[in-house]
Amino acid sequence: MHVTARLSDQAVIPLHTLDPAAPLDDLAWLDEAIGDARVVALGESAHYNRETYELRHRFLRYLVERLGFGAYAMETGFTEGWRADAWVRGGDDHLGEVMASGATSLTGLWRQFGAHLEWMRRHNAAAARPVGFYGIDLGGQNASLLPGLDAVTAYLAQADPGFELDPAIRETASLLAATSAFAAPATLAAYARLPLGTRHALTAGLADLAARMRGRRLEYVRHTGTQAYERALRSMSLLVTLEAVVRDLSRGDQRSVMYNRDAAIADTVEWILRGEERILLVAHNGHLQRWPGVLPGMDPVTPTGMHLADRLGADYLVIGATFGTGQMLNADAAAFQSGALFAPAQPPEPGSLDALMHASHDGPFATDLRRLPPADVDAVRAATVQRAGFGTFYAPVSPLDAYDLVVHVPRVTGATPDEGALACSPPEVREVFSSYAPQ
C-alpha cells in the first residue's frame, strides 16, 4: 500500500485567503523569508488560472506596501508592456484596450488581471514612488516582429529623423503579423514559406539596425534622453532575439528557442534592475526555477532562473508554485482553439512535489525549503518531478535546488474573461472566447 508523504505542521505557513483586497497580516512571514533579495520570483504551474492572478496581486500589494518594492515584471511582451505601464501611471487609455494590447499571449484578457492593473493605478495616484509594470518577454506573441519594429521605427523618427529604414525589412515583417496567440501559428508558417534569401536579408537588416542604434548612442540620447533610448534599444535587442527564435522554430530547433528566449528574459530583468531597486517577477515555474528546464520530448535547457541566480546570487529568490486539482490550460491545441480553454486537472502524480504539497495542508499555504526539519528535507528530496502545466507532463526537478520557497493552492480554476478586453481584441480572439463556457 502506497503511503502519501506529507510535510510536518511545522513546515506549513498557512495563507488565510487569496482575496487581493483582504488584510495582509498573514503574509508577514515574507519579511524574513525574502530578506534583502532584490528580485523575488513567483512561479505558476499553468497559465490563466484565477488563483494565480489573485496570489500575484496579494504578493505585490504586500511587497509594495510593506517592503517598498517598485516594479512588477510579468511574462508578457516587453514592448507591449509599455502601454500597461503608462496606464498604471495615470495614462488616459481605455482599460479594455490596455488589457488587450498591453499584454501578450492572452495574459491580459482576464478580469483578475484588470483588477491588478486597477490596484496599481490607484496606488500610484497617491504614492510618493509609483510602482511600474514591465513585460519581460520577446513580444509579438513570440512570433511577430511588427510590435518591436514599429516601436523602434517610431523612436528613430525622433532620434534619427534623416534615417530611412530599409523598406524590405518592413515588407518582410508585415508578412509575419500575429495579432494574437491564435494567429501565431499562421505567422510561423508564413516565415517558413519565405525564400532563404529573404530570410537572410531580414537577419542582416536587423543586425545592421541594432548596430546603428548602439553606435549612435550618445547622439540619440541627446535627442531623446537616456530613458527613451535605453527602452528602444532593449526592444531592438529583443527584436533580434525574436527573429532568431522564429528562425529556430522554422527548423524545429526547440532547444535553441528556449535557450535564446530565457537568456533574453534574464537580460530584460537585469535591465529593469538598473532603474528599479526591487522587483516582483512573475512567470511560469519552468522559466524561474534554478534547475534545468524540460519540455516534453526535449533535453534540458538553461532557464531564466539559472541565469539570474548566476548573475545576482542571493539577490535572486524563487518561490515555486504547485496546485492540487481543478482546471488548467488545455494541452489539446485543437480543443483550445475551439474554445475549450481549460481542461480538468487530475490529482497530482505520486512522488511529485505537487502531491507532497497537496497532502500537507487543506488550504493554501507556503513552505520555506531553507528552514525545514530534517524529516521534511527528506520528504522534499524524494519528490523528483513537478507538474509542468502541459497536459499530464511532469518535469524532473530537485525542489531544494530549484526553489527557496514553495506556495501551494489546493484547487485552481480558470480566470474570468473580461468583456471590455475581449471587445478590444482581434476577431479571432473574440471568436474563440465566444465558445468558451467558464466552469
What is the residue extent of each domain of the chain?
A: 9-434
**pTM higher than 0.75:** yes
Residue 262: phi and psi, rounded to 5, are -70, -35
Angstrom distance (rounded) from CA 138 to CA 424:
22
Please report the pLDDT score of residue 1 as a whole number. Answer: 38
Residue 2 clears pLDDT 80, i.e. is over it: no
Provide the 3-class DSSP secondary structure of residue 409. strand
Angstrom distance (rounded) from CA 416 to CA 325:
18
Angstrom distance (rounded) from CA 304 to CA 39:
12
CA 366, distance to chain mean position in Å, is 21
Query: Could you tell me which residue, 389 or 288, shows the higher pLDDT?
Result: 288
Q: What is the pLDDT of residues 40-63, one digit of tens each?
A: 999 999 999 999 999 999 999 999
Residue 361 clears pLDDT 70, i.e. is over it: yes
Residue 170 clears pLDDT 90, i.e. is over it: yes
Residue 174 clears pLDDT 50, i.e. is over it: yes
Q: Are 59 and 411 in contact (CB under 8 A)?
A: no
Mean pLDDT of the chain: 96
Give every CB contact of residue 80 below 8 A, 6+ residues apart in sequence.
101, 102, 103, 104, 135, 139, 147
Please report the pLDDT score of residue 244 as a whole number. Answer: 97
Q: What is the pLDDT of residues 132-160, one digit of tens each?
A: 999 999 999 999 999 999 999 999 999 99
Angstrom distance (rounded) from CA 286 to CA 309:
14
Long-range CB contacts (within 8 A, 24+) of 182-190: 182/337, 182/426, 182/428, 182/429, 182/432, 183/141, 183/143, 183/426, 183/428, 184/141, 184/142, 184/143, 184/144, 187/141, 187/143, 187/144, 188/143, 188/246, 188/249, 188/250
Half-sphere exposure of 351 (CA within 13 A, CB side): 7
CA 289, distance to chain mean position in Å, is 13
- Burial 266-275, CB ≥16 within 10 A → b, else e: bbbbebbbee
Please report the pLDDT score of residue 337 as a whole number. Answer: 87
The pLDDT confidence band at residue 437, using thresholds 50, 70 and 90, is confident
Provide the 3-class DSSP secondary structure of residue 72. strand
Please report the pLDDT score of residue 391 as a whole number. Answer: 84
Nearest-CA neighbor of 182 among 60, 67, 334? 334
Please report the pLDDT score of residue 333 as a whole number. Answer: 87
Beta pairing partners, 316: 39
Nearest-CA neighbor of 285 among 301, 266, 304, 269? 304
Quote the longest CA-to-CA distance of the chain: 76
Provide the 3-class DSSP secondary structure of residue 33. helix
Beta pairing partners, 412: 326
C-alpha cell at 226: 537616456
Q: Are strands 405-412 and 316-329 parallel, antiparallel or unpaired?
A: parallel
Please report the pLDDT score of residue 3 as a whole number. Answer: 56
The pLDDT confidence band at residue 438, using thresholds 50, 70 and 90, is confident
Nearest-CA neighbor of 7 among 380, 316, 262? 380
Query: Could you tell me which residue, 303 or 436, shows the higher pLDDT?
Result: 303
Q: Are 212 and 170 in contact (CB under 8 A)?
A: no
- Residue 301 carries which DSSP code? B
Average pLDDT (347-358) is: 97
Nearest-CA neighbor of 395 among 261, 318, 254, 285? 285
Nearest-CA neighbor of 406 among 257, 289, 306? 289
Give every CB contact of residue 326 below 8 A, 6+ residues apart in sequence.
49, 344, 345, 411, 412, 413
